[in-house]
Structure 1
Amino acid sequence: MPTEARRPDLAAMLAPLLRELIAAELPVLRAHDLSMWGYTVLIALDESPVRTQAALAESIGADKTRIIPTLDELQTKGYIERRADPDDRRVRLLAITESGRKVKRSVQVGIQRGEERWLSVLSAEERRVLLRALQKMTRVRDSPRVEE
C-alpha cells in the first residue's frame, strides 16, 4: 500500500458530480410530479416486484416510518398497490402498478437523456467500462466487508 495518496478520494471526485446529477434530475422529476424518494421507490419495486414496506425501506436506505407519506402519495396516484400480507395481516406488501412502471420509465428516459452531458465526453469503450464498474461497485454494499 502506498504511503502517499496518488489520486483524489472517490468521494472527493464523486460528490460534486453527484450534486450536479441530482440537480439535473430535479426538473425531470418535477415535470412528472414525482419526488426523488418516490422515484427511488418505483425503481426498487420495478426491480423486485413485491416487497414488504420494511424490506423496501431497508433496500433504499430509508427509515420505514418516514417513507409512509411517500408510499401514500404513490398509492394515491395509482403508481403502487399496498395490500395486507395473507400470512401476517400486520405486514403490508407493496407492488408497482403498470401506471407506476410507465411513469418510472418516462422519468428514467428523461434523466438518462440529461446524463448524456457527462457521458458524451467519454469514448464508447470508456462509457462501457465506467457503467460496468459503477454497477459492480454498487453491489459492494451487499457484499460482506473485508476486514483490514
Structure 2
Amino acid sequence: METERPDLGAMVMRLGRRLIAMEEPILARHGVTMWAYVVLTGLRDSPTRTQAALAQSIGADKTRLIPILDDLQKRGLIEREPDPADRRARLLGLTAAGTELHRAIQAEIRVAEAGLLKDVDGDAFVAALRALS
C-alpha cells in the first residue's frame, strides 16, 4: 500500500472543487445557481415533494431554500401547490420548462465530465463513487 499518497478526503475535496469550478460556468450560461440546480435535480429524482422533504433530501435549510424556490417558480421552472393533506405545506414539482432546462444543463455537465474522465476508466470510477457514497 502506498503511504506517501494524499488521504482520500484531501483528494476528494480537491476533486469536488474542480468539479464545482467546471460546472459553475455551465450553470451561469443557463442562469442557474448551484443550489437551484440541486433543487431541480432533487425534484427530477422525486417529482412531487414538500418543501421540508426537499430541503432535507438535498441538505439545505428550508428557510434558506424559499428564495431559491420563489425564483424558480417565478421563472416557470417549478410549481408549488398546497398539499391537499396539509394546506400549510406546499408540494413541489418541475414544469416542462424546468425539466427541459435540467436536461440541457446535465447534458453539458456530462460532456465536461467525459473530458475529465478521458484518461481513466470512467465507468469504473463512477461505480466506485456510487459504492463509496
Shared fold (TM-score, shorter chain, > 0.5): yes
- Match in the other structure for 2:127: 132
Q: Distance in 1 between matches of 2:80 and 2:115?
A: 38
- Match in the other structure for 1:115: 113
Identity of aligned residues (%): 50
Instruction: Provide the secondary structure at the position in 2 that maps to 1:78.
Output: coil
Normalised to the residue count of structure 2, the TM-score between the two structures is 0.93
Alignment of 1:1-148 (within 5 A): 7-122=5-120, 126-138=121-133
RMSD: 1.7
Instruction: Provide the secondary structure at the position in 2 that maps to 1:92.
Output: strand
Q: Distance in 2 between matches of 1:84 and 1:48?
A: 17
Aligned residues: 133
Deviation for aligned residue 1:136? 2.4
Deviation for aligned residue 1:84? 0.4
Deviation for aligned residue 1:118? 1.7
Instruction: Provide the secondary structure at the position in 1 that maps to 2:63.
Output: coil
Q: Distance in 2 between matches of 1:87 and 1:66?
A: 24
- Higher alpha-carbon Rg: 1
CA distances 1:95-140 after superposition (whole Å, capped 9, x unpaired): 1111101000100111111112320011xxx2211111212222xx
